[in-house]
Structure 1
Amino acid sequence: MQPWTLVGVLSLLLAVPDALAVKSHDFKTCSQAGFCRRGRALSARAAETKAWKSPYSVDVSSIAITPDKAVFTAGVHSSLYPDIHFGLELRVHEDGVVRVRLDEVNGLRKRYDEAASWALIAEPKISQDITWTAGKKDIRAKYGNNEVVVAFEPLTVSLLRGGKPQVVLNGRGLLHMEHFRNKKVEETKTEEAAPAPEEGAEDAAEQVVLQAEAEPEVNPRAWFEGETEDDWWEERFSTWTDSKPKGPESLSIDISFPSHGTIYGIPQHATRLALPTTAGDSPTFTDPYRLYNADVFEYLASSPMSLYGSIPVLHAHSADSTVGIFHAVGSETWIDVSHASDKSTETHWISESGILDLFLMPGPTPADIFAQYSRLTGTPVLPPHWSLGYHQCRWNYISSEDIRTVQKRFDEEDMPVDVFWLDIEYADEHKYFMWDEKNFPDPVEMTNDVAANGRKMVVIVDPHLKRTSNYPAFQEASDRKVLVKQPNGEGEYEGWCWSGSSSWIDFFDPNSWDWWKGLFKTTALKSGWSWTSSTTDIHIWNDMNEPSVFNGPEISMPRDNIHYGGWEHRDVHNINGMLFSNLSSKAVQERTDPPQRPFVLTRSFFAGSQRFGAMWTGDNLGTWEHMAVGVQMVLANGIAGMSFAGSDVGGFFGNPEPEMLIRWYQVGIFNPFLRAHAHIDTKRREPFLLEQPYKGIVKDLLRLRYTMLPVWYTAFRETSVTGVPVLRPHYVVFPKDPKGFAVDDQYFIGASGILVKPITTKGATETTVYLAEDEVYYDYFSHHVYRGAAKGKEISVKAELHQVPVFVRGGSIVPTRERPRRSSPLMKLDPFTLRVALSKAGSARGELYLDDGVTYSHEKGQFVWREFTAQTAKKTVRITTKDLGAEKKEEAVDGVALASYNPTNVYAETIKDVRVEKIVVEGLSGKPASVKVEGGKELVWEYAPGIAAGGKGEGVAGVLTIKDPKVLVVKDWTIVIQL
């Protein structure tokens, strides 16, 4: 192993060339990972062998069904290894999700089976309405229009709807759970004849070889597992050797979708939303998609390589239905994707360790899949309102005065911003929680200066702790024995990161939890150290939590390191980063009494991370390609639950020219998470440094973001309840439109009806936008009417540098706040504008959700939730509002929140005087004769003639502007427009 020093590491990482490219040799391909190589080899042999039949079958005599008919269990054996036993368990949840578990029974060792316990929010409730029917070849569980079939020999599990297969497990016979074995006892291939097969292996030979053409000496086990012990007991990569004391333990399973030709999910990868192929004829990528959280410096803009997070959830879609799977496995996993036809998809999942723990989600709609997955792993958190504003960051703001100067410049230019960030250089020798007193002598006063303008700060806290006795966080962790151990399980693991010689907290150890939360307290503790030089206006950025280790294999931690419970790092690698952000989120939440909503940004994540905060797409490059793929990555992460996502505006690396930077801000303001960030070697590029007209364009864009904060917050509220992502790809909104299944460069914001098509190509002055339906769409800025078609239609729109294509779907009502402020908290009593975009039928609908944006009082019914509708009948348009909280209370869609809702709640009282100051109605059929609040006097209004929503042709819509109708947000009212 090469020698490492902190200076050498920093020199390496800071030597960023102008032409950036990922260092591919730092990361494995499938052919360099023994278990992936073995899994793919098995797949190739099976594909070449027509007589291939899986050796796994159900022991019919062992089948058992619990008295409540809720759980099916059975023994499973492999004909190649009659002495090795497996246990199959199948249960159907109340919502129709099917959980399939397979584990080795009474093996030499225990397989890691705790991944689901970290991902799930609770043990799912089991259906009590299942009817099991046993036959000679299979057993079936029927419920509603769905059916689960467990075939005995070979073992397959199929989910059917209406008798039609939707998901099939082991249909291609690639199931293989490498059982535990003793190294010295296990047979090895020699020049001598192969040993006689064990009892039962003669039958297996007929299953795994070309029967007529097989040579008599063929050993079926060798055919199945390979001729040699291929990296079973240790594996070398570059200069590192991975000891494997447990031997081979990988899990391979093929999962087919016979009725679905498009798949989405398994983030995080820099690739198209509809996943390209990796196997079969002419694959897009030659390697499978890899899930292995990694610090991929300067990642490629199109690749199946693993990145910072891993969520093993996948949607399979067709015009008829959507189904999904979630595989609760925390180890490295590779997934091959191929298509037998344009109407079916085959996948092959190969994991290094763990059990089979699959959740089959039957849908049948995208919304159903999001609900089913959310009931398993939780919905995205409702973030603090201020965190939806603009975040300004770079590596690094160098001092307290630097922060004050940046804030001053934003105010001088009248540009809104909510959060200033500090990267690693704020900390003394990168000892997180401890300020560099030379450059940050007054951290509390600095933070208070920022907070005086309604703003917050976010500072970085990485998981590596500098190994020095004068660093309380490290010393206390060492004393408490909560650090990750070396492979022998004895001493503390030592690696290199920004702090130099470092150790890592083992958050799998419950003994670390309360201690870690105590570090964030802003007051002194009776026992232990706490961050007293902080304030509750400081929130947290968790970076490097894959974990990133500069001198480790693949820039990460050795797989044979030991975590709590004796588990190897290989077993839990993809879960590791989630626990760090989880505990940081709880720490920030619990530092106040009563708790306040935390903001924690994480780079590494797993299934369930959506419960704790936001993520970003990592160290992207300042290129057009990275801008474009960033949009696709944010959409993909939303599919897997991580809705609070964004890409660094401007790109982390490089110095984008003004055109690129403008376009990146246009992308950023329509990301759920909006942050500008830059590498230490880049030029300063805060938006106030731009020359005109670029500075003015960015200022207008930032103001647009703040104007639309009611739209964003309402969308986040819905996502926090339903799990449907904040940014909705085309297939989610129009699931029956095949033309849009691959569309991933435009999207809707929640249920607002706002359609966005960011520009991500250099020199563009126009673009095409796909409209999927026979409905009107209004240009957000010009009120121009565009008309779609029943079978879909592309329209051409102008997209000069100052223009971003944004449309309001006919039938939508969009609430905004139009008064510019320096930060979002200063807007809390501002009036609203309602944009009523009439549909062809003359109707519209929208929602507005508000709460205090900071506390958890909304969970106790302290909120305002309004519905706005417009209806046209007999030359009269009626715009009405009502209290959705009161109407939905009996439905209890929010559980406790709605059950305890009262229209005159404390929060509603704080905004009781907030009014609607303007209503804009698009698409009227003509000039009104009168406009009144029902039961009131004539209002002040003006009308600009134009195209009617229900008419023909395109052009500027007829627009009615009602000025200050003096109606209140918290009250019911109706405005009557007489035509």
Structure 2
Amino acid sequence: MRSLTTVGTLLLLSLLPASFAVKTHDWKTCSQSAFCRRGRALSERARATSNWKSPYSIDPASIAISPEEASLSASVKSSLYPDIKFQLDLKVHEDGVVRVRMDEVDGLRKRYDEAASWALVAEPDVSKSIKWQVGKKDVRATYNGITVTVAFEPLRIALSRSGREEIVLNGQGMLHMEHFRTKTPAVEETPTPEGETPPEEQVQKVVEVNPRAWFEGDEDGWWEETFSSWTDSKPKGPESLSLDVNFPNHGHVYGIPQHATRLSLPTTTGENPTFTEPYRLYNADVFEYEASSTLSLYGSIPLMYAHSKHSTVGVFHAVGSETWIDVAHPTEKSSHSHWISESGIMDVFLLPGPTPSDVFAQYARLTGTPSLPPHWSLGYHQCRWNYVSSDDVRSVQKRFDEENLPVDVFWLDIEYSEEHKYFIWDKKNFPDPVEMMKDVEAIGRKMVVIIDPHLKRTSDYPVYKKASELEVLVKPPSGQGEYEGWCWSGSSSWVDFFNPKSWDWWKSLFKTTQQGDNWSWVESSDNVHIWNDMNEPSVFNGPEITMPKDNIHYGGWEHRDIHNINGMLFQNLTAQALVARSDPPKRPFVLTRSFFAGSQRISAMWTGDNLGTWEHMAVGVQMVLANGIAGMSFGGADVGGFFGNPEPEMLVRWYWVGALAPFFRAHAHIDTKRREPYLLDEQYKSIVRKVLRLRYSMLPVWYTAFRETSVTGVPVLRPQFVMFPQDDGGFPIDDQYYIGSSGLLVKPVVQQGVTETTVYISDREPYYDYFTDRIYRGEGKHVTVPAALDQVPLFIRGGSIISTKERPRRSSPLMKSDPYTLRVALNNNGAAQGELYIDDGETYDHRKGDIVWRSFQAERIKGGKGLRIASTDLAARHPDEAVDGVALAKYNKKNEFANSVSKVRVERIIVLGLPEKPKSVKLEGGAALVWEFIPGVSAQGQKYGGPSKLIVKDPDVSVVSDWAVLVE
């Protein structure tokens, strides 16, 4: 497919690693990163010294407590640096989260302290009910069964619950904040009178401007560091921060995405480590990343959870610089971690839990919940690098419709633009972009077009020209002019979105009508949404394929200070631009590759340039789970893999994986063969059609799950430890998951040639096969289930009611008026419940209460053997609840949206697990209904049987009304 690329793209491809295979030498190891070397050396010396203790201590006379603000401040001193001052601040928030900050005071320079301002959604409210106790050796804050103890010498901070230590900072004494210093001349010549020979010891003397602690070793990379052909000037000298964070009573730790590894993080130190390199957080454009590695990838969230039967706790460190994290499990019931960051202050939030839901909510109150996405974005997305012309887009759409394959979004990669000048159409191949968009929109579909952060440095590109005039481009180390690097556009510069002057200008670019003399994207529409790629940022001729760390951003900060935050700002401003372009505003969809804590407030992410291999399919599931528990619920891995040509079996399995992930997109590299699903042989194409229809039928489930996570922060995909936090058999499981609170359990098949697999079931409830209705029971065991190519292990947990739409349509907007089917899967007590949330799926009217939010319950009729299935209004029952973070106090059940769907009905109710055939089925207070009963099949000693099935045909009840069906 190289013939489809422009000459410019081919030239730039030559700058990339040969054959796109991952070249590990393009990225540093810890031993090649000076500050990581220093941090790990400190750890090694501490472990090797039996009487090691931290040199940091609190001056008791300096302690100041403000009970009204639940805060403590104190001076911290180091026995090794008596002239260096540090300040410790500790606050307890209303929800019990503890914030611990430490910074150098009156230093030669200022450390970067703004990471939290970008990550946090707001400054948290502090508690008013903390009991403080100051002793001779420590000070303690007590609240809600939790005690936070700050020991004076050595400095040690511990969060305990009911006398059990849950989180400990500096328990191993590895806290080390490298203070600022002046550069030391290497030597100074000692003058000697003419004709005399000085004593040997007077020939030279070292100028001791910067005395070093004995454990610091030599001036290792303090002032300059070379990697490959690049030199980092390090004008501020050493400023790294090391901190050990231990979980004495938790055997599993999760989080710190993004890495291609297990959900429960394997060890990197100690005896028999799984990995020898620490987990690295440093947003990087990694080609064909390995399927099992601690290598840094595209996003970084410095958030770690620890879990045991007793509790779930977490630590969020608001730091935007490169960070390395070692993980150890010294016992089965304890976990240690060592965090080493290149710059920034210590700004750590201790999340006390004690349940998974609690800790997710605590993190969400800090950094925000995932935004409620536009409904159509939960459909299927079709992409490749590249659809090469307007006619190509039309042809692809036509083939999807001819083959009855539903799709919601068509994507355009970089080749749509003239010489990779984003926003500017290549009119040779896209002569009629607006008409093309209208053709796509006519069937309710949308388009997503890529906008990368690098701007081609040429005077005929109005976007670059204006950015240069505004002086909002990243500067080189000198602080003068514009940094120049290479990316798809060739010679490029990058907008500095930390500069407030860039914000309104960037948003103006997306206006679809001319804005005075300012250039804007008039050849676009409100139905075009945006893909922000390459925003780590990726720089082809830069160190580690990114921007030099000594580049300068707004405020004089170096790129090293804000590297991991950089991509989030690009995504954030793009999303704001999409909101601002229309009146009334519509919800934006912005896909980002690079992300940081707080990115979940904006839109979706994906796992980057994966390979079309079984190993990458498997690790993609684990990565989506890891990103989800760290807030990034709206995520997925590219179906089929970005690189390679998967055989049909692999491609079909990958469609199953994608259809049961929050973000569902097929994407492929420019050199791959075309692999749109309509090109498959019929036996495979029919399966993919089944997969796509399953996804569309389950859109009510997905949208309802997103409403919940937009309020609670609990992820859309829930690993086993989240659903069953006291079942230690499920703690390491990361190859299956639940979808929201729906009760749906998924076990994707990610191995070749599989016809059956095993599923772990924690509880006693029956699990009904979604397709065959067979019942499986486990209670802490794995059960064997069929898994042929045309099916996926998907189960409804007993006690759940699932809402679906079963009529095939070409796109999701065409389904708005379609009726619902309710699947009622009874539990061991003969009961079930479920929810359905709907709104217009596009505007922000849901925030003013224009919604439908229903509860479905199935309960035994008192005094009898019958069943009552009812629908009630959840929004009316819970006015203090919220949608998308906004309370429903103004909710009116006859709101405008509810009226618009009042004729949408429930067309079928399926009840699984009734103990016997009913005598009658009728509406409560109404007429008898048409129904069919299929008796169950005994398991006869097998692991599964077939439950009874009651099918109630067309009860003719509205989805917005209260009603009840009586089964007697």
| TM, length-normalised to structure 2 | 0.96
Q: Deviations over 1:102-130 (max 9, x none)?
A: 00000000000000000000000000111
For 1:389, the equivalent position in structure 2 comes to 379
Tell me the residue number matched to 1:858.
846
* AA aligned opposite 2:858: A
Check the 8 A contact 2:643/2:669 in 1, yes or no: yes
What's the counterpart of residue 818 of structure 1?
806
Paired residue type of 1:142: T
Q: Which residue number in structure 1 is paired with residue 49 of structure 2?
A: 49
Q: After superposition, what is the alpha-carbon deviation per residue over 1:890-937, rounded to whole angstroms, capped at 9, x for unaligned?
A: 456876441111100000000000000000000111111100011112
- In the TM superposition, what whole-angstrom CA distance separates every residue of 1:726-780 from its partner, at most 9, and x where no partner exists? 0000000000010000100000000000000000001111100000011100000
What letter matches 1:98 in structure 2?
V
Pick the aligned partner of 1:10 from 9, 12, 15. Answer: 12
Structure 2: distance between partners of 1:293 and 1:514: 26
**Aligned pairs (5 A) from 1:98-497:** 98-184=98-184, 221-226=212-217, 228-497=218-487
Shift of 1:91: 0.2
The one-letter amino acid of 1:545's match is N
Is 2:771 aligned against 1:778?
no
Change in Cα spacing, 1:348 to 1:195, as seen in structure 2 (3 Å) is: farther
In structure 2, C-alpha distance between the alignment counterparts of 1:407 and 1:14, rounded to whole Å: 33
Q: Judging changes above 3 Å, is the alpha-carbon distance between structure 1 residues 468 and 75 closer, same or farther for their aligned structure 2 residues?
A: same
Q: What is residue 830 of structure 2 aligned with on the other side?
A: 842
For 2:535, which of 545, 549, 555 is the aligned residue?
545
State the 1:954 CA deviation.
2.9
- 753, 762, 773: which is aligned to 1:763? 753
Q: CA contact under 8 A between 2:17 and 2:23: conserved in structure 1?
A: no
Corresponding position of 2:666: 676
Asked whether the equivalents of residues 389 and 430 of structure 2 are also in contact (C-alpha less than 8 Å), the reply is: yes
SS where residue 14 of structure 2 aligns? helix
**Mapped contact 2:259–2:623 kept (Cα < 8 A):** yes
Aligned partner letter, 1:12: S
Post-superposition shift, 1:11?
3.7
Matches of 1:396 and 1:927 in 2, distance apart?
Answer: 57
| Offset, 1:14 | 7.3
**Could you tell me how far apart the structure 2 residues matched to 1:307 and 1:445 are?**
38
Corresponding residue number in structure 2 for 1:583:
573
Cα distance per residue 1:504-558 (max 9 Å; x no partner) = 0000000100000000000001141100011111000000000000000000000
**Inter-CA distance 197–431: structure 2 relative to 1 (3 Å threshold):** closer
d(CA) in 2 for partners of 1:715, 1:601: 20
Q: Given the superposition, is the C-alpha separation of residues 766 and 434 from structure 1 closer, same or farther in structure 2, using an over 3 Å criterion?
A: same
C-alpha change, 1:786 and 1:517, in structure 2 (3 Å) is same
Measured in 1, the distance between the counterparts of 2:885 and 2:748 equals: 37
What amino acid sits opposite 1:859 in the alignment? Answer: R
Q: Following TM superposition, by how much is the alpha carbon of 1:393 offset from its aligned partner in structure 2, in angstroms? A: 0.1
Whether the 8 Å CA contact 2:487–2:538 is kept in 1: the answer is yes
State the distance in 1 between where 2:403 and 2:104 align. 65
Provide the C-alpha distance between the structure 2 equivalents of 1:309 and 1:466, rounded to a whole number of angstroms.
25
Q: How big is each residue's C-alpha offset from its partner over 1:65-121, in whole Å with a ceiling of 9 and x where there is no partner?
A: 125252100000111110100000000000000000000000000000000000000
What residue is the counterpart of 1:872 in the other structure? 860
Question: Which residue is 1:210 aligned to?
Answer: none
Partner of 1:706: 696
CA contact (8 A) 2:831 2:858 kept: yes
SS in 2 for 1:167: strand
Give the drift of 1:950.
15
User: Residue 788 of structure 1: CA displacement?
Assistant: 2.2
TM-score relative to the length of structure 1 = 0.95
Structure-2 separation of matches of 1:434 and 1:327: 40
User: Is the Cα–Cα contact under 8 Å of residues 707 and 884 in structure 2 kept in the other structure?
Assistant: no
Secondary structure at 1:263 match in 2: strand
Question: 2:612 is paired with a residue of what secondary structure?
Answer: coil
Q: Is 1:642 aligned to 2:642, yes or no? A: no
Q: Quick check: 2:412–2:450 contact (8 Å CA) kept in 1?
A: yes
User: C-alpha separation between the residues in 2 aligned to 1:613 and 1:814?
Assistant: 26
**Which sections of structure 2, spanning at least 5 residues, go unmatched?**
1-6, 191-199
Alignment CA distance shift 1:947-1:539 (3 Å): same
What is the CA RMSD across the aligned residues, in angstroms? 2.0
Within the alignment, does 1:600 sit opposite 2:590 as a pair? yes
Deviations 1:267-324 (A, max 9, x none): 0000000000001111000000000000001100000000000000010000110000
Amino acid in structure 2 at the alignment position of 1:616: W
CA shift, 1:435, in A, is: 0.1
CA contact (8 A) 1:392 1:677 kept: yes
Distance 1:973 1:292 in 2: 54
Which secondary structure does the structure 1 equivalent of 2:141 belong to? Answer: strand
Match for residue 954 of structure 1 among 941, 944, 962 = 944
CA distance in structure 2 between the aligned counterparts of 1:392 and 1:516, rounded to whole angstroms: 27
**How big is each residue's C-alpha offset from its partner over 1:330-383, in whole Å with a ceiling of 9 and x where there is no partner?**
000000000120100000000000000000000000000010000000000100
Assess if the C-alpha contact under 8 Å between 2:8 and 2:419 holds in 1: no
1:274 aligned counterpart, secondary structure: coil
Three-state SS of the structure 2 residue aligned to 1:667 is helix
Distance, in Å, in 2 between the alignment partners of 1:297 and 1:952 is 48
Aligned equivalents of 1:438, 1:570: Cα separation in 2: 41
Code of the residue aligned with 2:936 in structure 1: it is G
Q: Distance in 2 between matches of 1:520 and 1:21?
A: 36
Q: Counterpart amino acid of 2:419?
A: E
Residue 69 of structure 2 contacts residue 126 of structure 2 at CA under 8 Å; is this kept in 1? Answer: no
Is 1:256–1:345's contact at 8 Å kept on the other side of the alignment? yes
Distance in 1 (alpha carbons) for counterparts of 2:391 and 2:110: 56
Relative distance call for 1:725 and 1:187 in structure 2 (3 A) is farther
2:923 to 933, 936, 939: 933
Percent identity between matched residues is 69
Instruction: Say which SS state the counterpart of residue 68 (structure 1) adopts.
Output: helix
Name the residue aligned to 2:794. Answer: 806
Letter in structure 2 aligned against 1:652:
F
Match of 2:61, SS state, is: strand
Q: Measure the CA separation in 2 of the matches of 1:830 and 1:259.
A: 51
Shift in CA distance, 69/643, structure 1 to aligned 2, threshold 3 Å: closer
The residue matched to 2:474 in structure 1 has which SS? coil
Aligned-residue offset at 1:686? 0.2
Distance 2:112 2:219 in 1: 22
Query: Is 1:483–1:505's contact at 8 Å kept on the other side of the alignment?
Result: yes
| TM-fit CA distance, 1:594 | 1.3
Q: Does 1:923 align with 2:901?
A: no
Count matched residues: 949
Q: 1:347 to 1:753 in 2, by over 3 A?
A: same
